[in-house]
Amino acid sequence: MTAAPSQRLVELSPSDLNARLGEALALYVSAMAYPPGTAEQRAPMWMAHMLRDGWRCVGAFDEEDALVGIGYGYRGSVGQWWHEQVRHGLTAVAGPVAVERWMHDYFELTELHVLPRAQGRGTGERLLRTLLDGVATDKVLLSTPEGPSKAWRLYRRVGFVDVLRNYQFTGDPRPFAVLGRGLPMEPAA
């Protein structure tokens, strides 16, 4: 892993992210290899997420002040789309004990993305650790597409475990994994 030259991490407020929303969504589309129209579809959702309890966002910037990585999330709760989807899937597969264990007092890591040209330099892990540092919940949950990827290697390396595997969210044909781990995280090695 090569060091990220002159990269800085900055906690972003909702107004900071709003000012760079186009850039952040372009990063998201590039990192996920989504079609270009995805950014316009996601913008209202990202803006609504900024209003949720416990919302936090961290951006990684290069030496030209370009956004090369972003991560955000918030406190998950009953009634939120993702929470209800995961609760339903977890209930069907593992039952109410697993729902009770995972689906309360958690931080939903909603987005974590690094531009392809900036990957492999530790940016994702630094974003993840900075975002989760000081989160006031006892665990973190996320969903990621199934299959080998840099994201999978990162999540496993920092201690995420399976919560729900091969789950299909409404409106997306791909299988997803829901992963979780306790907080706080151990310091980086």
Residues with a known catalytic role: 155
The residues, ordered by sequence, that sit 6+ positions from 30 with a Cβ below 8 Å of its Cβ are: 115, 116
160: tokens are 């995420």
Cβ atoms 123, 112 nearer than 8 A: no
Beta strands 67-75; 56-61: pairing state: antiparallel
Residues 80, 49 contacting (CB under 8 angstroms): no
Parallel/antiparallel/unpaired status of strands 106-114 and 139-145: parallel
